[in-house]
Structures are given as structure tokens and as C-alpha cells.
């Protein structure tokens, strides 16, 4: 059973371009989470999705950022018109739906975005 797969592992974008980060959850997992890790900081929650639904996007910047988890295919985190402050590691995690949500999340290797 493959783990959480993220691609690309490294992404370089010029200011103003778009960045698309992909995440394939573990087989059978219906919950996907995106986190951002800025240099020298811990991970910050961005968004939580189930298939075709955004459940909680309280950590997502209001502008330029969007996320989706379609019925078929990977989850996508999209950042439009990137700025230098978007440079960070973006991690995806997935989990099963457990009783009262008490289930662990498995993390991917991350995508390291550099904006030049």
C-alpha cells in the first residue's frame, strides 16, 4: 500500500506565476489535509477536504489560494500569482474516517515551493 504521494517534490516559480501541488492520498482514505511549513516554523493547517467537498478552510489565505479534491484524481492545492512569501514546504496528509475523528493522519514527503 503506497503512502501519501505528493508531486512535484520541488517546484520553482517566478513571481506572478501559478503553482499547482498534487496529493494522492493513501488507498481507501477519504480525508485530505493540507499544511504549510514556513522556514523555522511548525506546520500550519490550511484546509481539510473530503471527496468533492471542502470541510474546513479556516487556515487558507483568502486570496490566491484554492484547493480541491475531485471525485476522481488527486487533491490539488493551487496558488495563483505567487509571491516570495509563498515559499515554503507544503505537506499533504490523509486519514480514514474514524469514530469521532480519532484516527491518525499520514503525511506525504511534501512539496518545497521556491518563488524567485
List contacts with another protein (CB under 8 A): 4, 31, 33, 35, 41-45, 48, 50, 55-56, 91, 93, 95, 97-98, 100-110, 112
**Would you say 18 and 87 are in contact if contact means Cβ atoms under 8 Å apart?**
no
Question: Phi/psi of residue 100, each to 5°?
Answer: 55, 25
What is the distance between the alpha carbons of residues 115 and 16, in angstroms, rounded to a whole number?
A: 9
- CB of residue 79 to another protein, shortest distance in Å: 20
Q: Which three cell numbers stand for residue 91?
A: 505537506
- CB of residue 7 to another protein, shortest distance in Å: 13
Would you say 65 or 91 has its CB closer to another protein?
A: 91
- CB of residue 66 to another protein, shortest distance in Å: 18
Amino acid at each position: 500500500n503506497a503512502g501519501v504521494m505528493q508531486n512535484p517534490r520541488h517546484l520553482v516559480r517566478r513571481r506572478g506565476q501559478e503553482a499547482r501541488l498534487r496529493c494522492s492520498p493513501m488507498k481507501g482514505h477519504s480525508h485530505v489535509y493540507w499544511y504549510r511549513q514556513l522556514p523555522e516554523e511548525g506546520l500550519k493547517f490550511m484546509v481539510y477536504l473530503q471527496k468533492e467537498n471542502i470541510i474546513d478552510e479556516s487556515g487558507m489565505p483568502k486570496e490566491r489560494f484554492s484547493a480541491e479534491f475531485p471525485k476522481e484524481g488527486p487533491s490539488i492545492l493551487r496558488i495563483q500569482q505567487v509571491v516570495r512569501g509563498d515559499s515554503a514546504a507544503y505537506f499533504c496528509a490523509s486519514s480514514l474516517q474514524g469514530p469521532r475523528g480519532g484516527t491518525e493522519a499520514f503525511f506525504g514527503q511534501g512539496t518545497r515551493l521556491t518563488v524567485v
